[in-house]
């Protein structure tokens, strides 16, 4: 997974989008992160970039860290948030390009995830680029946790014709586009939405293990 490329591309789109958003859009609640508005989501993204680049913390961020990032930037307008984000980005990209620890892939995961959260809040189409690489990263991590476990799990991304098998023995087979599978793994689908996806075999015993972040409480469209 090319974290520098993903982060750079997504940040560029989000900065361009910020220039187009009016006050109503910025005050829109983000259903995937219902404690935040669109502006507060930008505040988190700026804060995460600043903190990781400065070595304030090592990813992943806890809820307490993300809450602090947003609270520290309360009252700042979107232009100030974007300026702060831009200024810290070169140091972050240098870190993403040189650090070999997997946890330093997480800022790219975070910015891609929140771009789609914002798109969902604003009724925009999903941004699906790099979903296959992000899905591979997520499933590789899930596979380590599934090692030796029965039943196994097979996952197929139907749009890129690629499959992953985890655990041992025959188990359910989960299919979907790379985007839908990845959004589910990142807690952006409810258990009911995941169960309604394309399955062979009974997913019920493992549904609780398929969200790497807490599953959505309300159905999300993006």
Q: Where are the domains positioned within the chain?
A: 3-122, 131-209
Match domain 131-209 to its CATH number in 3.20.20.70, 2.60.40.10, 1.10.760.10, 3.30.1050.20.
3.30.1050.20
pTM of the full structure: 0.95
24-33, 60-69, 76-85, 146-155, range with the lowest pLDDT: 146-155
Query: Tens digit of pLDDT for each residue in 136-178?
Result: 999 999 998 888 888 889 999 999 989 999 988 789 999 999 9
Other Cβ atoms within 10 Å of 103 Cβ, number: 11
Domains 3-122 and 131-209 share a fold: no
| 192, β-bridge pairs | none
Q: What's the CATH code, domain 3-122?
A: 1.20.120.450
Residues 90-123: pLDDT tens digits? Answer: 999 999 999 999 999 999 999 999 999 999 999 9
């Amino acid at each position: 997974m090319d974290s520098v490329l993903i982060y750079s591309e997504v940040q560029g789109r989000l900065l361009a989008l910020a220039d187009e958003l009016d006050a109503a859009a910025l005050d829109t609640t983000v259903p995937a992160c219902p404690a935040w508005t669109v502006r507060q989501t930008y505040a988190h993204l700026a804060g995460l970039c600043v903190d990781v680049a400065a070595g304030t913390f090592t990813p992943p961020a806890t809820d307490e860290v993300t809450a602090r990032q947003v609270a520290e930037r309360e009252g700042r307008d979107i232009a100030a948030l974007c300026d702060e984000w831009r200024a810290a980005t070169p140091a972050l990209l240098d870190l993403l390009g040189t650090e070999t620890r997997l946890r330093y892939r997480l800022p790219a995961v975070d910015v891609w995830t929140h771009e789609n959260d914002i798109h969902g809040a604003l009724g925009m189409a999903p941004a699906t680029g790099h979903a296959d690489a992000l899905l591979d990263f997520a499933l590789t991590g899930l596979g380590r946790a599934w090692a030796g476990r029965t039943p196994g799990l097979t996952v197929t991304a139907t749009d890129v014709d690629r499959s992953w098998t985890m655990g041992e023995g025959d188990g359910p087979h989960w299919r979907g586009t790379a985007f839908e599978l990845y959004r589910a793994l990142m807690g952006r689908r409810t258990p009911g939405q995941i169960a309604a996806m394309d399955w062979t075999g009974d997913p019920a015993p493992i549904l609780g293990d398929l969200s790497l972040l807490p599953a959505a409480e309300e159905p999300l469209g993006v």
